A and B are shown apart, each in its own frame.
Chain A
Amino acid sequence: MIKRKIIDSFWNVLTYLFSSVGIIVLLLIFIFVFSNGASTLSWNLITSDYNQTTYVLSYKDKYDGGNFEYKCKDDEYFSSYWGIAFTDTVNTEGVDSVIISYIDDHSPLLNGLLDVGNDNYHHLQVNQYVTTALLVGEEGNIISCPARKGAESMAAGFNRGVSITTLNLVDGGGGIRGSLIATLYLILFTLILVLPLGIAAAIYLSIYAKDNWLTHLLKSLIDMSSGVPSIIFGLVGLLLFVPMFNALVVSEGYSILAGALTMTIMLLPIVISTTKEAIDVIPKKIISGSLALGASQTQTTFKIILPNAIPGILTSTLLAIGRIIGESAAIIFVMGTQVQDHVLPNRGGTTLATHIYNLMGLENPNYKLASAIAIVILMSVLILNILVKLIGYRLNKFGRKH
């Protein structure tokens, strides 16, 4: 008896141990992603370009100084001479930087800075990073204000300077707007293709197809492609779809369109099977009822079957979106790994997931930005999952078929 209790407790302990693994793994992921990414994540990140633009500006004329007034918020430091305020911040690579947080409407810097590179006047904007500034003081002394000395020292330096020799400005950098838009484009185009095709096939297989060997073959063939790893789809996309769009003179090389086609053939099985399940759950007697009233098969399909299959179609849409957001291997092959700031459907680009891959491939992997993107991805996937569950509970009129 005691021996049995000991053996039992041994197995019980093992069970507890092994099951905690799941929680540990999840915690690991979340801790890593959040600790690295949370600080970097900001609205700025989502809306700015990935690639940086650097400006070298100057204000050569001597300026007598306006007497600007401005009520500083916390951490803001104001130069009343020039009418400009600076704030300390951390850029998307986690480096301490200084950004311009306020420019007075009458400040000469607003439109008066000359771009040394192209001889145009630069329109100064809030949220641009100042890397360093070199000013000249009253007595002709040189005042140097590097960003690492902080915003307070920069404001003080500006107050002592009467003209600006150089002002180094960095705009954008480390933003994910491009990847975000590319992801959205990809989702849009893929859904436009995969939903009609998938629903049509589901309707055919559920309703029109006779129960013979041919139908079984069709079903098997469709199922089979769900066992193919995504990297193979990538290869096929590279082989077929990329050249196809090139030949149509729509694109040169990688394109989001090719990506959409690739994702379409990848997602067809899941859309078809989810929609088919939704259709199969509709009680046969409702369909018979419609036909018995003299409605044609087509009318029955569109008026009775499709509307009742909407929860299933919605579910398959959400599942598809989830897969698209998470897919990396297939997309790398047809859309490339170059981050685009100006996203066009006929050009390649990175989605959120492949952007992470890109960042990991750099000489110095940018964990912070990658983690920030990972947070965005995780949140989206989480929301999609919750939505799928909600649809399952709320909209299913005919009971769940497990």
Chain B
Amino acid sequence: MKQTNLQTSAKRLNGKKISDMIWYRTFQIITFLCASVIIVIIAFILIKGLSPFFKTYTIDGDEYRVNLGEFLIGTTWFRHPNHYGIGYIIVNTIYCVLLCLVLAVPMAIFSALFITRIAPKPISKVLQLIIELLSSIPSIIFGLVGMGYITQGVKYVASWFGVQTAGGLSTLSVVLVLAFMIYPTITMLSITAINAVGKDIINGSLALGASKTQTNFKVVLGAAKNGIFAGIILGVGRALGEATAISLVSGNRGSGPTFSLFDTTNTLTTTILKGFQDTTGLDYDIRFSVGVVLIVLIVAINIILNAVKRRVGAKV
């Protein structure tokens, strides 16, 4: 029997089926691997991070183990003698992030409103490009500019108030750097949210005799609030996780907590970063513990913010 070229021989068919099987399994295994990354991360950080509380370390001949309670509530962070407390660091971290939100969120919402609803088309396009550019600038450069300009600025402002600063390294510097960093993120998501508001309700508002400004603030922002909030949540995530940029302007405070704008400060991330290069033993392990706390904090804040988002969204 003649077999035409277009008919697949049984052998060919089998070959195809086997290769299909092989590729399917390969892709599947790779996907499972990728999905397991997060589990591996959490597992290892937990294991290493919990060890200071369960292992005993010998430092300078003394046996030492960190007390979990003291660790969580503590207000100092010293290497010698081992007084590791991150309580105050948690407070400082939340304080800095809150302040930076106070700055960044209004700036972002107003900018988004301006770009989408008020500015003439060409200016709007240029501004959007600028915001996109800003959001892709690596954080280290914000840190660089922070060290160069912002700390000088803070030093100057502090001198008006007659306050001494550690060369400008201060909470205010941290807050400013963070605010500038997350401002583009929130703005971009707000722009998307505002653009998605239906023309019909905008027209409806205008037809009732409301002015453009009233329409913008009462109807447009109201309808866009879900998207804007999502942007804020993203911004908060970024602010909590930022390390190198802040470590350059924070001043690394050893004790606290502090609420003064001109004092040096400390965040969880800068604590992990500081001086890690020549550490061993407990000082090394304890950074993983800080890492655990950081992850817990981020997850907790995310859950809280998402719950708030749902309530705000439902209250339509």
Contacts and interface: CB of A to CB of B under 8 A. Distances in A.
> In the complex, are there CB atoms of A and B closer than 8 Å?
yes
Nearest to B181: A25
A309 to B, nearest CB: 14
Interface in A182-239: 197-198, 200-201, 203-205, 208-209, 217-218, 221-222, 224-225, 227-233, 235-236, 239
A298 B23 contact: yes
A50 B40 CA distance: 37
A209 B39 CA distance: 21
Give the one of B34, B139, B148 with max A CB within 10 A. Answer: B34
B31 A225 contact: no
A16 B137 contact: no
B133 A325 contact: no
Interface string A363-402: 0010100110010011001100100000000000000000
B30 interface: yes
B27 A200 contact: yes
B243 A268 contact: no
Contacts of B24: 208, 297
A43 interface: no
Interface stretch (B58-66, B70-78, B200-208, B288-296): B288-296
Contact of B288 (A239, A299, A336, A374): A239
Contacts of B17: 296
A26 B142 CA distance: 10
A197 B31 CA distance: 8
Contact of A221 (B39, B110, B127, B244): B39
Dominant SS among interface residues on chain B: helix
A370 B241 CA distance: 23
Interface in B1-44: 8, 16-17, 19-20, 23-24, 26-28, 30-41, 44
A272 B288 contact: no
Interface stretch (B155-163, B270-278, B308-316): B270-278
Nearest to A360: B248
A229 B38 contact: no
B152 to A, nearest CB: 10
Given A378-B141, A385-B136, A301 B23 contact: yes
B144 A233 contact: no
Given A22-B131, A231-B273, A353 B140 contact: yes
B143 to A, nearest CB: 7
Interface string A330-348: 0011001100000000000
B154 interface: no
Contacts of A272: 34
A245 B111 CA distance: 48
Interface stretch (B79-87, B112-120, B224-232, B258-266): B112-120
A325 B127 CA distance: 25
B31 A218 contact: yes
A221 B106 contact: no
B253 interface: no
Interface in B236-268: 237, 240-244, 248
18 contacts: A4-B214, A11-B213, A18-B110, A21-B183, A22-B134, A25-B183, A198-B34, A221-B39, A222-B38, A227-B237, A228-B41, A228-B295, A229-B241, A239-B288, A240-B40, A297-B23, A326-B138, A357-B143
Interface of A: 4, 7-8, 11-12, 14-19, 21-23, 25-26, 28-29, 32-33, 36, 197-198, 200-201, 203-205, 208-209, 217-218, 221-222, 224-225, 227-233, 235-236, 239-240, 265, 268, 272, 294, 296-299, 301, 322, 325-329, 332-333, 336-337, 353-354, 356-357, 360, 365, 367, 370-371, 374, 377-378, 381-382, 385
The 4 nearest A-B residue pairs measured at CB: A229-B241, A326-B138, A18-B110, A204-B27
